[in-house]
Amino acid sequence: MALKVRELTSEEREGLHQLAHSRTAPAREVERAQMIWHLLAGERVPAVARRLGRSEPRVRHWLKRFNELGLAGLAEQPRPGRPPQYPPEQVAEVIAIALTDPRTLGQLFACWTLDRLQVYLNEEKEIGMKRSRIDEVLLAEGLRWRTQESWFGERAVPVDPQFAEKRGALNGCIPSRQPTA
């Protein structure tokens, strides 16, 4: 028994036509709609498979799925994958610690680096997360980290308000540039 496209409503036919000729829809969905469109036009499965460069079982698969689910059957379905290695609670804890001032957690430094964060998580919280994974988690949350520390930022000691007076005038300290010829 040959597989055939089921009877379509006018809305389904119009939607299928738009999807099969779309330039902005996902390419896989467009190709699947084209399979059904050609089958609807009376072509047989082997001819459609040759035309689109797909196998006959693949064309039959999408025809069956379209007949069961309609246009929604041509869309990607969620696929099972590897389960997350770290539970959401641990990921949330990593983010919370990264946003916390290290001095409030008893650390001797003023800001986190990825290496410091990894050591703290491994030793204090017993979260065995690699540095690269910590970076991925933080980037996914929209956080970026410095590659090195610098003297910029909040000072531990306030600036002396009389510094400018004590320093003296800057006139004459810096030699002026000689104009080039």
Q: Are 20 and 39 in contact (CB under 8 A)?
A: no
DSSP letter at 72 equals: G
Q: How far is CA 39 from CA 8, 66, 110, in A?
A: 13, 11, 67
120-129 pLDDT, tens digit per residue, is 999 999 999 9
Instruction: State the pTM of this model.
Output: 0.49
Residue 68, token pair as written in the block: 């069961």
**Dihedral sign for Cα atoms in the order 57, 58, 61, 66:** negative
Q: How many residues make up the chain in this entry?
A: 181
Category of 142 on φ-ψ map: left (φ > 0), alpha (ψ -120 to 50) or beta: left
Taking only the tens place, the pLDDT of each residue in 30-71 is: 999 999 999 999 999 999 999 999 999 999 999 999 999 999
- Asked if 41 and 17 count as a contact pair (C-beta separation under 8 A), the reply is no
Domain segments of the chain as ranges: 10-74, 88-140
CB 40 within 8 A of CB 8: yes
97 close to 120: Cβ distance less than 8 angstroms: yes
| Class of domain 10-74 (CATH, top level) | mainly alpha
Residues of the chain under the 50 pLDDT cut: 148-153
Number of H helices, E strands in the chain: 8, 0
